[in-house]
Structure 1
């Protein structure tokens, strides 16, 4: 069996002219607007494992393996649990997002770059609105976004489902050809690229690379990725100037 593609395809440096027509700036939340080293999503991940373990009365390691299989098969653990075990999504979302946000510090450099972007700015997340608001508020960037499109707005159908992106585009009445999407998971950029968006993959810094799991690195060499960066604020500064 062939090993999954994890090598990052080389991309040229982004230039302002590459984004001259972009008027819609779309950002994933977890491990995109904050660095992986904060371990914020790691808390959510651990609580998802705990939820699965308690629900199905499984040992922790077995619950974690099942949780990851739900993610890979259905897009999110929540979707897998809904389909295969008919759980209450509200209870799941409340439980997994009951985490400590104190490790997040304001990021004025990123905030200044997002604020300076021309046009509309959105958070598009497979998490829920409350989690997105708490995270963005802790980063000091919540007020820089026009709106948040969360898993509830998506009808609980997560990225990378095509229907979810179509809902997002229709809801905000935006032109995908004048949009750019920033994501930490390569597979979530396939549909945006097909819709005509510029796509930017956010990867861990070299010091964080060993934190990422193998499945999180799959598809990084895909042709659907226009640009790759490990520093979102610096990338936005380059494409504005």
Structure 2
């Protein structure tokens, strides 16, 4: 059995000229805990919208997230909410939690070809986060939930839309994600797939189901050090 946690050598990624990165809990580590602010804002939004207590609102939020890819998609389908209002409110957070990552910036800058952020969040959130990390200028573009016509990963048509919008050659692309289910479509398309995991692999996560499938064949590499992984791929 192939060791997915092995560091790559340059031959493994020699064909890659399109580098595609998820944003939250991928470009910054999970222990930064930035997404917990968004998570709380989403619960509050559901609680206010549906006049529920906190526990019931959180249950609905997580149900929609699991069934539809994002809480937003569930709220749109079941309650007809206006997406821009939701996106603005849940991303009104404190970005000082994110610290500059010089090593990651240098590793991304050194990658040959184009680099993209591909997120189920919106572009303003991606820009603020990447700017706080000190890596925004290293990316060619951001493909967000609005560009995806509000259809989130892991929907296969969203990856097709991304590839078409940016003219990305799927067999020359690599996808970096923290959720195994979001690597199913990229792997089926022929992209290299890399799963980003917490640096403590035994860490107890709020949503254990999020990591179901991490041992599947659609996950080619697993790493808890994105900068180190990228550096090894270019060595």
Displacement of 1:217 after TM fit? 1.4
**1:204 matched to 2:173:** no
Q: Structure 2 matches for 1:1-241, cutoff 5 A?
A: 10-11=3-4, 12-206=6-200, 209-241=203-235
In 2, Cα distance between equivalents of 1:36 and 1:188: 17
d(CA) in 2 for partners of 1:20 and 1:207? 29
8 Å CA contact 1:70, 1:80 repeated in 2: yes
Alignment deviations for residues 116-149 of structure 1 (CA, whole Å, 9 cap, x no partner): 0000000000000000000000000000000000
The alpha carbon displacement at 1:212 in A equals 4.7
Aligned residue for 2:174, secondary structure, equals strand
Q: Does the aligned pair in 1 maintain the 2:117–2:143 contact within 8 Å?
A: yes
Contact 2:7–2:229 under 8 Å retained in 1: no
Tell me, what secondary structure is at the counterpart of 2:42? helix
Q: Tell me, what secondary structure is at the counterpart of 1:46?
A: helix
Are the aligned partners of 1:70 and 1:76 in contact in 2 as well (CA < 8 Å)? yes
Verify the 8 A CA contact 1:37 1:208 in the aligned structure 2: no
Any stretches of 5+ residues in structure 2 without a counterpart? none
- Aligned-CA RMSD value: 1.2
Separation in 2, partners of 1:128, 1:74: 17
Instruction: Report the secondary structure of 2:57's partner residue.
Output: helix
Please report the TM-score for the alignment, with normalisation by the length of structure 2. Answer: 0.97
Moved more, 213-222 or 58-67: 213-222
State the aligned residue count. 233
Q: Which residue does 1:5 correspond to in 2?
A: none
Equivalence for 1:4: none
8 Å CA contact retained: 1:36, 1:208: no
Tell me: CA distance 1:10–1:64, structure 2 relative to 1, closer, same or farther (3 Å).
farther
Unaligned runs of at least 5 residues, structure 1: 1-8
Contact kept? 1:186, 1:201, Cα under 8 Å: yes
- Structure 1: how far apart are the matches of 2:219 and 2:201? 22
TM-score, length basis structure 1: 0.94
CA positional deviation for 1:22: 0.1
8 Å contact from structure 1 (residues 71, 80) kept in 2: yes
